[in-house]
Amino acid sequence: MVNHSPTKIHIKDIEGRYTLINNEAKKLYGLTGDEGLGKTSFDLFPKDEVAAFLAHDKAVLVSGETQEAEEKFTLDGDARTYLTTKFPIFNQDQIVGIGAIGIDTSEQIKEKEKIQESEERFRNLVEGSIQGVLIHADNKTLFANQSYADIFGYDSYKDILAQDSALDHVAPHEHERMKAYSKARRGGEDVPITYEFEGIRKDGSPIWVENRGWVVNWKGQPAIQRTIINITGRKQAEEALRESQNLLNSIIENLPVALLIKNSDHIIERANSIYLKWYGFDANAIWGRRSDQIENFQPAEEVGEMNAQELEVLATGVTKTRRLERTFVDGQTHTIDITKFPIYDQQGNIAKVGSVSVDLTEQVQANQAKSEFLALMSHDLRTPLNAIIGFSDLISQQYFGPNSDKYQEYAEDIKSSGELLLSLVNDILDLSAIESGKQSLTKENLSVTDVVKECEAIIKERAQSLGVNVSMTVPKNLPLLFADRRATIQILINLLSNSIKFTPEGGKILLKATATNRHHTFEVSDTGIGIPANKIATITEPFIRGDSDPHKTHESTGLGLAIVKSLVELHDGELEIKSKPGKGTTVTVILPGGAS
């Protein structure tokens, strides 16, 4: 029976001589028959192996108890490992020998070593990854790399292994979903491989991760592997983007103006509620379509011009504004300003065109009513003013006989005040005529030299009386100017008068004219008090003065530059003002076109 056992069995006496060796042991030791009996381990095995055998034997003899140990044998170059159980053999309470039963564990050890090597290679591989890796079976953590621990704020992967559950660092509201996914995955059901879940870091702070999960073989048993990356930053960016988009949408939809956005192919990508309300469109009916494909989108005669303007904005990035009349869904004609502007992509390239439309109907109507009222009032005021000025002049000239000095002074005051008031009325009348559209231009070919000389004659006496030096520079042979004579003279007179009013005694004023084939330029420079930088933007508005000090008395209505601006715009020209307080002001007028 002993000889047929698949385990090696031998018995030694207390002197270490073999008294029994079964067939399995003989095969291991390379023996046949009885040749091993009576011999010791020194006779059969290498000395370096014998020391371990004898140490195990001695432990049994000393303790009198069974001992278990791994013993290694090398015979004919073949290394084998046996798990050997050694026990004492008694005779009347005396140990008379040592028995040994050994099971060959060589293959199991090799397999275990292979598994350990595989695990080591796996750990070395995943430890070099920035992705967190965790393997679990029924939520019992079997493996975790350092990156997994780092992501959740733990010092070591061993902290993860020590947790009771692989769900300990998963937000509680995610537990049921995670369990369901794991169960379904083990059962071969179709569940998402990649998904996001909210976790909890060691310090209790929330964290978002993206997980890829699948079934793996772990030490011969099925398990679930998680491979995660930290996406908290991405989630925060997405949330910030959502908030930004919601804010932008809220602003767009609550703007008191109409907004339209088209791409570079004139396809509508966005229209806000005001735009849809004005024209009675449904968003789904116009979004994603070209403007020329939408019925009644805009008058046919405007399509080409609008597309050309949009292409210009796309090409140059320059904002364009134009005023036109449009019929709204209410059937009424409205005056609107449309401003087209570029929209840039992330690379800084112009990708779209935005249009903002402002309904100016009420403003235009109010301005029209104001201008008509002012024109009427100015006309009614001018008639009695002319009479006041005329009679005061007669009195001051003493046509009706001598006056006392006091009455002479009164008459002159009445006349100068009347003239100032008449100047104001005339300015109001001119401005209201322009704003109401009643000011028409009669353009003709003008000699710039003649125009400048006429202006010089008008303002020369006043400038001299105030001690201001006015000079004119007009090159010879300037091209003729095609413009309205009266308007051009009024522009220059107003500019020169302004300079005279605000230039102290001894100051200088220069009117310089230049021209090219495309435009004429008039530049009026003075050494006056100048205009504060914060006033330049509004100085051309009616009744605005650059010097608002109530203690300084300049005879100025505040309409001169407003009229200049309006007359320049009627000529499709440009007005530019540069000034330094205490140094002076330069006003430049550019009128387009040469002689007709």
Quick one: 461 and 560 in the same domain? yes
pLDDT digits 0-9 by tens, 85-95: 989 998 888 99
pLDDT recorded at residue 544: 55
Q: Mean pLDDT throughout 3-25?
A: 86
The better pLDDT of the pair 93, 432 is held by 93
The region of weakest confidence among 86-100, 271-285, 556-570 is 556-570
The token pair at 189 is 């059901």
Quick one: 167 and 186 in the same domain? yes
Quick one: 351 and 395 in the same domain? no
- Please report whether residue 1 resides in a domain: no
CA distance 260 to 258: 7
Q: What are phi and psi of 311, to 5 degrees?
A: -65, -35
Q: What are phi and psi of 227, to 5 degrees?
A: -125, 115
Max avg pLDDT among 256-260, 396-400, 430-434: 256-260
Residue 552 has pLDDT above 50, yes or no: no
Residue 509 C-alpha from the chain's centroid:
51
pLDDT recorded at residue 378: 66
Residue 125's pLDDT band, with cuts at 50, 70 and 90, is low
CA distance 479 to 516: 8
Do β-strands 481-484 and 469-473 pair in parallel, antiparallel, or remain unpaired? unpaired
Report which of 260, 182, 268 is spatially closest to residue 225, judged by C-alpha positions: 182
Task: Pick the last residue of a domain from 104, 138, 171.
Answer: 104
* C-beta separation of 134 from 144 below 8 A: yes
Please provide the average confidence, as pLDDT, over all residues in the chain. Answer: 85
Quick one: 333 and 395 in the same domain? no
Report which of 370, 416, 374 is spatially closest to residue 393, judged by C-alpha positions: 416
CA distance 501 to 512: 19
Give the alpha-carbon dihedral of 143, 149, 154, 159, to 10 degrees: 0
Residue 341 has pLDDT above 90, yes or no: yes
* C-beta separation of 200 from 171 below 8 A: yes
Residue 98 C-alpha from the chain's centroid:
85
CA distance 206 to 196: 13
Report which of 423, 424, 419 is spatially closest to residue 388, judged by C-alpha positions: 419
Quick one: 207 and 330 in the same domain? no
* C-beta separation of 498 from 560 below 8 A: yes
Hey, how many other C-beta atoms are within 10 angstroms of the C-beta on 558? Answer: 16
* DSSP string of 32-51, one letter each residue: -TTTTTT--HHHHS-HHHHH
Please tell me the pTM assigned to this model: 0.48
Residue 548 has pLDDT above 50, yes or no: no
Domain residues for the domain of 213 are 112-235
CA distance 350 to 312: 11
**How far apart, in Å, do the first and last CA atoms of the chain sit?**
134
H or E stretch at 140: strand 140-144
3-state secondary structure of 594: coil
| Cα–Cα separations (whole angstroms), residue 590 to 58, 515, 542, 586 | 119, 9, 21, 13
pLDDT recorded at residue 195: 93
Residue 516 has pLDDT above 70, yes or no: yes
Residue 551 has pLDDT above 50, yes or no: no
- Please report whether residue 250 resides in a domain: no
- Please report whether residue 241 resides in a domain: no
Q: Mean pLDDT throughout 482-497?
A: 91
Residue 375 has pLDDT above 70, yes or no: no
Quick one: 317 and 386 in the same domain? no
Residue 465 has pLDDT above 60, yes or no: yes
The better pLDDT of the pair 117, 61 is held by 61
CA distance 99 to 11: 4
* C-beta separation of 229 from 132 below 8 A: yes
Alpha helical stretches, state H, 439-589: 448-465, 485-501, 533-536, 560-570
Task: Pick the last residue of a domain from 390, 414, 435.
Answer: 435
| Residue 206 burial class via C-beta count within 10 angstroms: exposed 0-12, middle 13-18, buried 19 and up | exposed
pLDDT recorded at residue 549: 43
CATH number at residue 224: 3.30.450.20
Report which of 592, 588, 581 is spatially closest to residue 565, judged by C-alpha positions: 588
Quick one: 120 and 228 in the same domain? yes
- Please report whether residue 3 resides in a domain: no
pLDDT recorded at residue 237: 92
CA distance 564 to 194: 70
- Please report whether residue 23 resides in a domain: yes
CA distance 160 to 166: 8
* C-beta separation of 74 from 61 below 8 A: no
Task: Pick the last residue of a domain from 411, 435, 459.
Answer: 435
* C-beta separation of 132 from 182 below 8 A: no
Residue 528 has pLDDT above 90, yes or no: yes
pLDDT recorded at residue 404: 80
- Please report whether residue 414 resides in a domain: yes
- Over pLDDT 90: what percentage of the chain? 37
The one-character DSSP state at 557 is: -
Quick one: 494 and 561 in the same domain? yes
pLDDT recorded at residue 522: 96
Quick one: 428 and 345 in the same domain? no
- Please report whether residue 243 resides in a domain: no
Q: Mean pLDDT throughout 514-530?
A: 92
CA distance 105 to 81: 6
Identity of the amino acid at 489: I
Residue 343 has pLDDT above 90, yes or no: yes
Do β-strands 508-515 and 469-473 pair in parallel, antiparallel, or remain unpaired? parallel
pLDDT recorded at residue 553: 43
What are the start-end ranges of the E strands in 267-405? Answer: 268-271, 320-327, 333-344, 350-359
CA distance 581 to 130: 64
CA distance 396 to 413: 10
The one-character DSSP state at 172 is: G
Max avg pLDDT among 430-434, 486-490, 516-520, 521-525: 521-525
* C-beta separation of 448 from 531 below 8 A: no
Quick one: 62 and 199 in the same domain? no
pLDDT digits 0-9 by tens, 378-421: 667 777 878 888 878 888 787 777 878 787 888 788 877 877 77
Residue 243's pLDDT band, with cuts at 50, 70 and 90, is very high
Give how many domains the chain has, as a whole number: 5
pLDDT recorded at residue 415: 78
Quick one: 501 and 391 in the same domain? no
Radius of gyration, alpha carbons of the chain? 52
- Please report whether residue 240 resides in a domain: no
Q: Which residues pair with 290 in a beta bridge?
A: 267
Report which of 308, 305, 303, 277 is spatially closest to residue 292, judged by C-alpha positions: 303
Residue 115 C-alpha from the chain's centroid:
52
Report which of 229, 2, 29 is spatially closest to residue 129, judged by C-alpha positions: 229
The one-character DSSP state at 439 is: -
CA geometry: angle 290, 249, 293, nearest 5 deg = 10
Quick one: 300 and 207 in the same domain? no
